A and B are shown apart, each in its own frame.
Chain A
Amino acid sequence: MNLSLFLFLIGILGFILNRKNIILMIIAIEIMLLAVTLLVLISSIGFDDNGGQTFSIYIISIAGAESVIGLSILVAYYRLRGTISLRT
């Protein structure tokens, strides 16, 4: 359980520290989703329950949809602005 909590903390810190780089922000969101899924899985196997694996399947698919939409927004942004830097 400590592993997933620290992984979530690393994801939050990466999201805060890299606010100029969209790709690293999406990567940090992926790391946070990985941490949440690990927390659900480890807790469910600790309770000897199987519902956590079902919900982890849902979370994995939501993570895939989220990263697809984020990267397509990134491509559209690059096509409009010519750069991906968030500096204004």
Chain B
Amino acid sequence: MTTLFINILAFGTLLSSIFSITSKNPVISVIFLISTFVQAALYLIFIGINFVGISYIVIYVGAIAVLFLFVIMMINIKLTDILETGNQYTKNLPLAIAIGSLFIFIIFTIVPFNFNNVPALSVLLDKITYFNSILSNSNIVSINLINSIVNNYFLSSISDVIITEFQQIEVLGHGLYTYGAVLLITLSVILLLAMFATIIISRNNKNIKT
């Protein structure tokens, strides 16, 4: 059941990201971006990464998507400027095909394409190896020969237990404050600089009159 949900969420993530790229109105594009983030966060929660999944929803939907919507509403875009972008696809299409095929070639020579990470198909493969081991009377049933992460992770079905499980947040906080403390301080300085840069860039400058 959870593998079915994981399949649906992965497919929905890809589909809504495609919709968010190809849509012409920026508001609809941002709404599909929110849909992508929520589905990716639910995917993470279903495969067992609870706290990061929930903080995805908080940070991306609560901060970044609202920021996008705010900027889009603040500058009133003339839709006639935007609607011409669909015609520009054919000009950039050879570059897109070249880079996409090169990406697929490089990635899938490093990581060979397999159906093992797709949970529905790997469940079917598990059934095949199970029947194989029954027929050959071997005891090696539980060895998951495929590296599917989803299947060999223990998935509890009670959502309250998943959310209030405290161990993962504890370990994450320990990692953040011991060996990642220098990176955490650097990160806070980066966020402070981002705030200063935003204020200075968007300050109403009276000197520049163009």
Tell me whether A27 and B33 are in contact (CB under 8 A). Answer: yes
In whole angstroms, what is the CA distance A41 to B141 when docked?
28
Among A17, A19, A45, A58, contact of B49 (Cβ-Cβ < 8 Å):
A45
- B198 surroundings in chain A (CB, below 8 A): 68-69, 72
Q: Number of contacting residues on A, CB 8 A?
A: 60
A14 to B77, CA, bound (A): 20
Asked if A72 and B201 sit within 8 Å, CB to CB, the answer is yes
Interface: B21 (CB within 8 A): yes
Partner of B171, one of A26, A50, A67: A50
Q: Chain B: interface residue count, which band?
A: 35 or more
CB distance from A43 to the nearest CB of B (A): 9
State the CA gap A75–B194 with chains docked (Å).
15
Q: Does any Cβ of A come within 8 Å of B163's Cβ?
A: no
Total inter-chain residue pairs, C-beta < 8 Å: 182
Given A23-B29, A42-B149: A84 in contact with B81 (beta carbons within 8 A): yes
Q: List A residues 15-74 near B (Cβ within 8 Å).
A: 16-21, 23-24, 26-28, 30-31, 34, 38, 41-42, 45-46, 50-51, 53-54, 56-58, 60-69, 71-74
A19 touches B88 (CB 8 A): yes
Q: Identify the closest chain B residue to A28 (Cβ).
A: B21
B210 A80 Cβ-Cβ under 8 A: yes
A20:B88 contact, CB within 8 angstroms = yes
Query: Taking beta carbons and an 8 Å cutoff, which residues of B are in contact with A?
Result: 10, 13-14, 17-18, 20-22, 26, 29-30, 33, 36-37, 40, 43-44, 47-49, 51-52, 55-56, 59-60, 63-64, 67-68, 71-72, 74-75, 77-78, 81-82, 84-85, 88-89, 92-93, 95-96, 99-100, 103-104, 107, 111, 113, 117-118, 147, 149, 153, 168, 171-172, 175-176, 180, 183-184, 187, 190-191, 193-195, 197-198, 201-202, 208, 210
